[in-house]
Amino acid sequence: MRYQQDICVVNFNKQNMTPERAAKIKKVLNHRQDGLVVVMENVHDPHNISAVMRTCDAVGVQEVFVLTTIISRHEKFGKKSSASAAGWLTIHQYEDTASCMDAVRKKCDKIFATHLGVQSSSLYDLKLTERVALVFGNEHAGVTEECLNYCDGNFIIPQMGMVQSLNISVACAIALYEALRQRLNNGFYNGTPQLPENQLKSLAKEWGVYREE
């Protein structure tokens, strides 16, 4: 059974919108990245989910896909307010892998999963200036084989210690900040809007501002 939910709601009083706050929101909108997407598959711990969403907001990821096939669907992602990262993201929730990954594929040309496989590449060898989705799996079992079948490849984060694993929220933060680094070097955060016009206008309306023409 598939369940899909799009969430992008920020609860604040538009009448109290100051020029400074409006300017900040418009700046954030212009830094939102088209074609940089995060997928969380069967991530159980709500603290991990919240931490990933905070990182997504910080680096300009707008769209997050939450796929739950072996755990129960998450009922909520924290308080939907201006103080919560979840309130500033567009969250797509699915219970069916095929439907989820098909939707991701429509937004991205490449899908890479964090997975220690025979042909896994280093994170630092990925070209993250492309339209790309990064998939992070369950805290214990990782990304499922079913989901891996929809991916174009696997990547690992180089580690020099005895324990070859990182918390999912840490792994996601490292990966997304590498994407940020590459995109910064290629002018993706120069103030020119990156999102499609219709999405940009929709978010501006949701967030209580309207883009100046």
- What is the pLDDT, as a whole number, of residue 76? 73
State the average pLDDT over residues 70-92: 77
Q: Position 82: which residue type?
A: S
The answer, yes or no, to whether residue 146 has pLDDT greater than 80, is yes
What pTM, to 2 d.p., does this model score? 0.88
The answer, yes or no, to whether residue 9 has pLDDT greater than 50, is no
The answer, yes or no, to whether residue 198 has pLDDT greater than 60, is yes
pLDDT class for 7, splitting at 50, 70, 90? very low
The answer, yes or no, to whether residue 60 has pLDDT greater than 50, is yes
The mean of the pLDDT values for the chain is 88
Higher pLDDT, 16 or 160: 160
